[in-house]
A and B are shown apart, each in its own frame.
Chain A
Amino acid sequence: MTLLSVRNLCKNYGALEVTKDVSLDVAPGELHAIIGPNGAGKTTLIGQLSGQTAPDSGSVWLEGRDITRASMAQRVHLGLARSFQITSILPRFTVLENVALAVQARSGSSFRFFAPVVGERALNDAAMDALAEAGLEERARVRASALSHGEHRRLELAIALATEPRVLLLDEPLAGTGGEEAEAFIQRLRSLKGRFATVLIEHDMEAVFALADRISVLVYGQIIASGTPDMIRNDPKVRTAYLGDEEAA
């Protein structure tokens, strides 16, 4: 059974084929990593899955439902959430408010004009849970713009978690982090595994091979190989096209 299914997706920017006949399936609870060199079209692919970018042809299905034409906001309500490669938050809101707004989006109407939202326990509690899972609960009351880069990455994750996704699209969650920060982030993603399906785009190969159930390799907009981490590690096509010969297995 597949949860998210992509069929023959194509997208051109002028003469440049950024997505070339891409098909892939993600099973419930599975972590499917997409790797590939810079400019392979990974972010454009995530854009098409999340609804930010419209494909030229092909289709995206969520639980047997065609969502190719659904907007980004509609997809979130169907259970498809994303994080951004370049941190995209509400800088003047507190960390808690950033996450509480994501909780609000899925719980009850936002057309409530009079009751003060700061005092809504249910929103704040659910937001604190998401912050705890992302390892950011101690910074809940801080203005989001005051966070460090690594904390911004965690806030991205917390916001995505707060939408309670069934499929989570993570666009380079580790971008710009390193060392202990990255190590802790990988641990966090590992502990979340299985709760929802994940499509992970990541340059950090250590993270990818540690986390992924399946890996697809995207080169010039095309999937050249797809399989378990072991299969990908030993695939000669992948080794020459992407990993390089000296990459330790």
Chain B
Amino acid sequence: MSMTATDTPRRMPARIWLALAIFAAFAALPLFALATGDPFLLLIGTRILAYAIAAMALDLILGYGAMVSFGHAAYLGFGAYAVAILNSYGVTDLVLHILVAAAVSAIFALITGAISLRTRGVYFIMITLAFGQMAYFFFVSLSAYGGDDGTPLQSRSTLFGTDALENDLVMFYVALALLVALFAVATRIVGSRFGRVLIGTRENPVRMEAIGLAPFRYQLTAFVISGCMTSVAGVMLANQAEFVSPSFMNWHRSGELIVMVVLGGVGNLTGAIGGAVVALLLEDWLAVLTQHWKLLFGVFLILMVLYSPHGITGALERLTLRLKRGRK
């Protein structure tokens, strides 16, 4: 009799182990930075961590709820501008920045999600893109904060009244702590009653309706949660760059988030994190090789889709299966 992974609640699934391994590697990165003496490594690491948060948040709705949001960069922008705008009013606390970013994102996600969820498939993609661009142009026209050019931050967010975040190492570990915490939250959510309903709406919305669970409320709730989580990434990105601009929320950025999720493997949270890591590292390495790195990246993406349609985690899954069979 065949058993599935969901039947073994006591044993921790492989994807959790993989995520823990990635977190451990991140935790050890400062040592590596120390050894190589590369001061930018921590900044690059923080940027990757922020995108990992965003990609994981997107996977929560894309992978588990079949909602392909093409406007998720808007929430990066809300997070980033929450830092810039609150800072300019002298409100510098990181926790407050995150709370305000999440609150604004929740309202935006609630309104745009409620409208977007009236549609399906390609139409959902297009309408979320449209809302994302609306948010983008709102900040482009915000001349008090540099409009199109953006604005530098006076200082990074403060951490419990201290300027500890000015230290790149502290900022890096704060970003890592946020990723780990949000990963834990997301993992609990997908394994909860709510998560089961969400996955059910992905599998068969009509069946969900027929057992008395109208998908809309659950999909919208997930959409809001995902938006809030993504804004946390925006807060960290602004602090990492010490600069915010509408380019944070450009539709390219939304596309990159989708690429990270698909590249890593859809619908298991860990894949999105891995996808963010691989995509951003590749971007950095290929950019060193040639200014036409996007071309190389495109080739890589096509190869991935051709040979491993389920992304990095899908490839790893097949590999471990083959190894297990080989041992027997």
Contacts and interface: CB of A to CB of B under 8 A. Distances in A.
Nearest to A103: B211
Contacts of A13: none
A114 B213 contact: no
A31 interface: no
A33 to B, nearest CB: 21
5 closest A-B pairs by CB? A76-B212, A73-B214, A90-B203, A102-B211, A105-B212
Given A73-B213, A159-B207, 4 more contacts: A76-B211, A102-B211, A112-B194, A142-B2
B7 A141 contact: yes
Nearest to A140: B7
A206 B207 CA distance: 29
Contact of B214 (A71, A91, A101): A71
Nearest to B206: A88
A119 B196 CA distance: 13
Interface of B: 1-4, 6-7, 9, 188-189, 191-197, 199-200, 203-204, 206-214, 218, 221
10 contacts: A81-B210, A89-B207, A102-B211, A105-B212, A110-B218, A112-B192, A115-B192, A117-B192, A118-B6, A159-B211
Contacts of B213: 73, 101, 105, 110
Given A91-B203, A92-B203, A142-B1, A110 B209 contact: no
A53 B24 CA distance: 53
Interface of A: 50, 52, 71-74, 76-77, 81-82, 84, 88-94, 97, 101-102, 104-106, 108-120, 141-143, 146, 159, 162-163
Contacts of B203: 90-93
A244 to B, nearest CB: 34
B196 A50 contact: no
B98 to A, nearest CB: 19
Contacts of A159: 207, 211
Contacts of B9: 116, 118-119
Nearest to B4: A143
Contacts of B193: 104, 108-113, 115, 117, 120
Given A73-B214, A118-B9, A90 B200 contact: yes
A92 B208 CA distance: 14
Given A73-B209, A101-B196, A111-B221, A88 B189 contact: no
A105 B218 CA distance: 12
Contacts of B207: 84, 88-90, 159
Given A71-B209, A72-B209, A94 B4 contact: yes
A116 B197 CA distance: 13
A109 B197 CA distance: 11
B194 A111 contact: yes
A50 B189 contact: no
Contacts, number: 116
Nearest to B209: A72
B211 A163 contact: yes
Nearest to B204: A90
Nearest to B194: A113
Contacts of A82: 210
Contacts of B211: 76, 81, 101-102, 105, 159, 162-163
A143 B200 CA distance: 14
A65 to B, nearest CB: 16
Interface of A is mostly: loop
A159 B206 CA distance: 13
Contacts of A88: 204, 206-207, 210
A101 B1 contact: no
Contacts of A115: 192-193
B209 A101 contact: no
Contact of A141 (B3, B195, B214): B3
A91 B192 CA distance: 19
B257 to A, nearest CB: 23
A137 B6 CA distance: 17
A161 to B, nearest CB: 11
A106 B204 CA distance: 18
Contacts of B214: 71-74
B196 A114 contact: no
Contact of B210 (A50, A97, A111, A118): A50
A81 B210 CA distance: 7
Contacts of A90: 199-200, 203-204, 207
B195 A117 contact: yes
Given A91-B203, A113-B189, A84 B196 contact: no
Contacts of B221: 111
A146 B3 CA distance: 10
B192 A163 contact: no
Nearest to B201: A90
A97 B188 contact: no
B117 to A, nearest CB: 15
A176 B212 CA distance: 27
Contact of A117 (B4, B196, B212): B196
Contacts of A119: 9
Contacts of B209: 52, 71-73
Contacts of B210: 50, 52, 72, 76, 81-82, 84, 88
A239 to B, nearest CB: 36
A234 to B, nearest CB: 37
